[in-house]
Amino acid sequence: MPRFRLLLEYDGGHFFGWQRQLDLSTVQGVLEEQLRVLCGHPVQVIGAGRTDTGVHALGQVAHFDTICPRPADVFVRALNASTPEGLTVLACQEVDPEFHARYSARYREYLYRLHLRTQPSAFDRTRSWHLGRSLDIAAMQDAARILLGTHDFSAFRASSCQARSPVRDMQRVDVELARRGQEMRIIFGANGFLHHQVRNMVGSLVQTGCGRWSVEQFQHVFLGRDRTKAAATTPPWGLYLTRVIYDGEPDSLNIIEV
């Protein structure tokens, strides 16, 4: 049976997360319903990451199987004409039947946006976390470097996380200012992430940026592997799944700016 790969972007504020839920609008549920109509048979859509309610995506990857003999570009046009506001299919291509959007991924990248201006944004209230204060970016960059490499990330793991191991290889952590210093953007890249890991890491980095923690305290919390000692989970609406990379693909693939 032919397998197709989708590249998706969506506004998480329009959906109750990725995963299909009874009587709730989710990204997976919407795609499966529209593909069922297009293909004439039930279709399961598998995503690279199960984003929570309110979390956005600029480069979510998914796959589905169908016996429907349609060219890939027809799926793009048909889905974009039928799916609700807040969801766009950027690309579709037929792939090897062994390709798996979740298990074949070797690298995932997330962006978290923090709005630093005192006044909230009229446009980004549901697309960034409004802090309304400045942060010590140098201290946050020093703390962020501690996360690089292969570590046990239990300190930032949600209690509901079902991953077999808390060990992940963090390959990128960038803390940078944007929009003339009115916004901070934190980018994380790793071979995989635990449930709420990014939002929990951001919360603890902000503690350092606010001066409530020293860099040494941040490191102590991280190495202590105790979730109860780390900062609270930050809001979902500042988080974006930006890209997913697979074996044989360059790291520069699907770099999407927000």
Domain at 239, CATH number:
3.30.70.660
Is residue 136, in this structure, part of any structural domain at all?
yes
Structure pTM?
0.93
Of the residues 11, 23, 52, 152, which is catalytic?
52
pLDDT digits (tens, 9 = 90+) for 117-126: 999 988 888 9
* Residue at a domain's end among 61, 95, 129: 95
- To the query of whether residue 247 is one of the catalytic residues in this protein, the response is no
Helices (H), 56-149: 72-82, 137-146
pLDDT digits (tens, 9 = 90+) for 47-71: 999 999 999 999 999 999 999 888 9
Is residue 253, in this structure, part of any structural domain at all?
no
Structural domain count of the chain: 2
* Cβ-count burial 17-28 (b if 16+ within 10 Å, e if not): bbebeeeeebbb
Range of the domain at 170: 105-246
Phi-psi region of 53 (alpha: psi -120 to 50; beta: other; left: phi over 0): beta
pLDDT beyond 70 at 223: yes
pLDDT digits (tens, 9 = 90+) for 80-111: 999 999 999 999 999 999 999 999 999 999 99
Q: What tokens appear for 18 in the block?
A: 């990725």
87-95 and 3-10 beta bridge pairing: antiparallel
* Residue at a domain's end among 48, 75, 95: 95
Is residue 257, in this structure, part of any structural domain at all?
no
What's the pLDDT band for 257 if we cut at 50, 70, 90?
A: low
* Residue at a domain's end among 46, 71, 95: 95
